[in-house]
Amino acid sequence: MKKYITFLLALVFIVSCDIVERESLSSEMHDHLQQLPPDANLIGYINFAKMKSSPVFDLLQNDIEDEIFQCEEYRDFLKSTGFDIEKDIHEVYFAAISQEKSEGYNGIFVASGTFNPDKIIAYIKEQDSEKELLTETYDQFTLYYLKEEKLSFCFKDDKTIIGGSQSLVKKALMEESSETDLVLMPQIKSMRYKSWAWMTMNTESILKKMHAHRITERIPVVKSIRSVSMAIKLTDNLYFNGECICSDNEKAELLKDALKGAIAAAKLSVSNDRGTIDVLNSINVETKNNLLITDGEMSKSDIEKLIAQKNRVMSI
């Protein structure tokens, strides 16, 4: 009996060590996702409101801030509408469907925030000297689109804007929830972090387009990738997790070796920067059967080291 209990405890310990705590999918997020195209090849989510509470967010935002927010046109837009893209967008869902017979995609985004639709539309019309912005009444909504484009957008209310391919926008406005789960729902549910920012995609159709450009011929192991998921969590630190499903165990191992090789090459390129090397050493890369997993944690100090290193390289 003693041996049996010892074996059972050991088994429980081994199994528990392999369990990764994953954030559950909220019912609210599930309902939002069900309004996206069920056959989407790519789906993502960004919660700006939640991430802004992290001290890491300002650091990242300042580093990647586009010059558009500093230009005269944007300042004029901000003054006229009172709408600040950096502050007034709270969260965004987005999705894309690869078009088999072309290089393009059908896409949609649903953004919630604080909007003043009347002022924004008035500003756009004032700038539209060529009268290229057209309107269409759909149910009780007004869709706006450019004559030569198949893209449109609509303010569903003062807190929601929907944009993208016209057919997808119309479905979203009618809140037509899919009766079947999203093709990508298994990947979404398996992601470690769901409340901050994430993206997942099935790569088959994308790889077909890459094959046409001979990219997969130069990097053969890429052809084995079936899906890629990436998620981050921002609190006092930045946590990241990436998962890549490959065709088989062998290809996952090859991809792991390639990624570890890239990290090793990066360390060689900054051999005189101990701080950056320590950050790169903290990135974990492993495989579980045909699944390649990359994860890690970075403090604000770690990110500052990486940004400083990037700036040194850019200044050369």
Encode pLDDT of 188-220 as tens digits.
Answer: 999 999 999 999 999 877 666 655 456 566 667
pLDDT over threshold 50, residue 130: yes
- 173 neighbors 160 (Cβ within 8 angstroms): no
3-state SS of 223-271 is HHEEEEEEEEEECCCEEEEEEEEECCHHHHHHHHHHHHHHHHHHHHHCC
Percent of the chain as helix, strand, coil, to the nearest 5: 45, 30, 25
Q: Is the pLDDT of residue 177 over 90?
A: no
- Please give the model's pTM, rounded to 2 decimal places: 0.85
What type of residue is 88? D
Neighbouring-strand partners of residue 270: none
pLDDT of residue 11: 36
- pLDDT for 73 equals 80
> What is the distance between the alpha carbons of residues 277 and 265, in angstroms, rounded to a whole number?
11
Instruction: Kindly state the tokens that stand for 190.
Output: 């398996």
Mean pLDDT of 7-34: 64
232 Cβ neighbours under 8 A, 6+ residues apart: 193, 196, 197, 198, 238, 239, 240, 241
Contact criterion met (CB below 8 Å) for 277 and 316 = no
Answer for the pair 193, 214: CB distance below 8 angstroms, yes or no: no
Residue type, 152: S
Average model confidence (pLDDT) for the chain? 83
Phi, psi of 245 (to 5 degrees): -90, 125
